[in-house]
Structure 1
């Protein structure tokens, strides 16, 4: 039985044909933006801490054509949306007004207008092979792919960070997802064969070699198929708790606090802050090990420590991701942790490349025995960020 399956990439020609069917014209071009998987550092981004994501080979393809008015027409082939075709005017898009999945794309135009840019309308057809609800930033891939297309077609002169910021504003203000900037930076700034250590305070990105294949290793992504939702109250509560902890400590963010400062905080705030502080420190440890040329296997225990912290202190894991992480380590992984915003989604496991199938099958068996959905798995390959394809 083959358990590890790489999602099928989408064809540019097929997407262009879909565009022609929908809009009776050829697209001006096709763009791609990847999803991301975060190696370590969860909920540290909005606390001015460090994160360490990679851009995936999986992502979203965007076929686009510039219009002469302020209309945006969008179409997706995703089976997960109830309204695959949406038409709206940019002038009608405003903060707090979600238009479903189209918010992640149309919101980019709103964000650009807030910066005083001249924003033309667009026709957009999109397709993706990032699993939705899996914590792999399918939404950032959509917003950043759209942003890259809009930048090129409108002729805006924006840095990569500014392109990523358009995507974040679309998610925060139109889609209503309170994300930090990590997802979008990873989608825009990824480099093949590298992880990105991002200082979210200075928005400084350090590209760190992360070629696991050369070391006989693989980063196995195990989708628990327990979907998460960043717009839920649980995510907002964690963010609010971090803000309250920082205020109680008299610092602007938890980046400026240490574990020794936490003794006088209420138990809940103490645990929330401890996770953020220690996970940000683990990012620096992992980055240091990789930069120094250490065997990547040495980062495994830090991944497992991160999962324990998310489970006990930040309380964002769920029974099935706990089970998968524990099973992966028992089956031979060097370390495993839930990745993404939490409350479901994916687990990553650092494994020998010839053990990926064995570990994946062990996780399937454990989930089945526990009465959970059967997980699916693929191997994550660090890849390039958002770019024009044609």
Structure 2
């Protein structure tokens, strides 16, 4: 299922051509790779006695169209499209473009690992980003994306700090050790929304580094790519990032969940048969794709201070918050100064929540999984102060839609995006309700994606 932009309005709730009144339907012949039926049931199920499409089938057809509205590309197809985009937008050159791809991964319970070396759980996507690069004799580098019509020009050797796409690729090529004074052309295509924050930029930088090394004719292993990506991102952002997103970007299999140990750098793919997988969506409240740098640095300082407080008051040999057992959390909270209590509660509970989610995956208990997401979101609002008014509104709406098949919601990437869990055919109508309910809580229109 593709993470395309979900821009349809109410009038598009009508079924497609295959669901028109009285139109014969084929029998079910099996399921596709996403676990959805390849063909809908026969006419006795679709057409009512009066000859009109039944009220039950209309939302089914609507949801099916929304979930499948974008094509699903393979990594090789992503790479080919990136190279073609470069030629189409920037023209032919003596230098042929090369391209590389990285899968996207969205944090379900991940952002606490920005502050200590805990465990993380991510939703691993078939979609991702592909970056094509080629050397050029021009006196400037150029960047194009299929999402933006303009060509952005910049000097690849200008190392002044900034948050532009040019400064990001300057950081990438510097840490990749790109040799020479030449400039490069860059093309980006993909199906990962930028609103998911560090998850997006981790995927982008991983794909870009892979492409640059191919351009230079080098073979570089994943661990070195990860080190370079971490250095490039931290230089660009001016603050630390969770290694979990970079570890997840290395994965090339299609299991839907990734469990990551950020201390050892190990990852474990958690597979679920397509027919048993829940549905996922993203709501981007457009309140910022990245948290303010100073806010992240301040939370990092608080996390370090909380560890010091626990060592001074209770466990002098404690080396990391990951080693503080959840059973000792209440004792630790009672022992430390008030300044560290909410920090400890949030970080240790998030690490514990990862274990709960893994158990839920193995049991296929998606309602319990959603409940843990909602508990985590409450902690983000009460103990971590990352949730905006727009995020709170969407989470409250998800809570009210529990009977309609929405299981949970949680902020991801400490950004303006919320990850929604529910039954696959419940998500499209819920996303429409989100758009209809959006008010002055956000400065820009909410956008939604089915993943």
Question: How far apart are 1:24 and its partner, in Å?
Answer: 3.2
3-state SS of the aligned residue for 1:150? Answer: helix
Question: How far apart are 1:78 and its partner, in Å?
Answer: 7.3
Structure 1 partner of 2:281? 220
Q: Deviations over 1:8-64 (max 9, x none)?
A: 88744641324642x734533222224331122322244000111133344432111
Structure 2 partner of 1:383? none
Q: Work out the CA distance in 2 between the residues paired with 1:199 and 1:53.
A: 11
Question: How far apart are 1:171 and its partner, in Å?
Answer: 0.7
The structure whose Rg is larger is 2
C-alpha change, 1:66 and 1:252, in structure 2 (3 Å) is: farther
Residue 253 of structure 1, aligned match among 320, 327, 350: 320
3-state SS of the aligned residue for 1:88? Answer: coil
Q: Work out the CA distance in 1 between the residues paired with 2:101 and 2:89.
A: 15
Residue 110 of structure 1, aligned match among 174, 191, 212: 174
Contact kept, 8 Å, 2:283 with 2:448, in 1: the verdict is yes
Q: Deviations over 1:272-316 (max 9, x none)?
A: 2211111111111211332x3433333111111110111111111
Structure 1 partner of 2:253? 191
Question: How far apart are 1:122 and its partner, in Å?
Answer: 6.2
Q: Work out the CA distance in 2 between the residues paired with 1:141 and 1:281.
A: 26
Structure 2 partner of 1:230? 291
Question: How far apart are 1:198 and its partner, in Å?
Answer: 0.3
Q: Work out the CA distance in 2 between the residues paired with 1:144 and 1:179.
A: 14
Structure 1 partner of 2:353? 282
Contact kept, 8 Å, 2:82 with 2:131, in 1: the verdict is no
3-state SS of the aligned residue for 1:47? Answer: coil
3-state SS of the aligned residue for 1:60? Answer: strand
Structure 2 partner of 1:326? 396
3-state SS of the aligned residue for 2:167? Answer: helix
Q: Work out the CA distance in 1 between the residues paired with 2:308 and 2:369.
A: 33
Structure 1 partner of 2:155? 87
Is 1:368 aligned to 2:436, yes or no?
no
Q: Work out the CA distance in 2 between the residues paired with 1:46 and 1:190.
A: 26
Q: Work out the CA distance in 2 between the residues paired with 1:208 and 1:280.
A: 18
3-state SS of the aligned residue for 2:194? Answer: coil
Relative contact order, CA 8 A, sep 6+: which one is greater? 1
Q: Work out the CA distance in 2 between the residues paired with 1:104 and 1:61.
A: 16
Structure 1 partner of 2:118? 49
Contact kept, 8 Å, 1:103 with 1:174, in 2: the verdict is yes
Is 1:378 aligned to 2:449, yes or no?
yes
Structure 2 partner of 1:386? none
TM-score (norm 1): 0.82
Q: Work out the CA distance in 2 between the residues paired with 1:206 and 1:281.
A: 17
TM-score (norm 2): 0.72
Is 1:208 aligned to 2:270, yes or no?
yes
Q: Work out the CA distance in 2 between the residues paired with 1:169 and 1:52.
A: 23
Residue 364 of structure 2, aligned match among 289, 294, 309: 294
Q: Deviations over 1:138-196 (max 9, x none)?
A: 22222111111122233434322321221111010244242121222222225313311
User: What's the RMSD between the two structures over aligned residues?
Assistant: 3.1
Is 1:37 aligned to 2:106, yes or no?
yes
The runs of 5 or more residues in structure 2 that have no matched partner are 1-9, 14-65, 312-317
Contact kept, 8 Å, 1:103 with 1:175, in 2: the verdict is no
Structure 2 partner of 1:242? 303
Question: How far apart are 1:66 and its partner, in Å?
Answer: 5.0
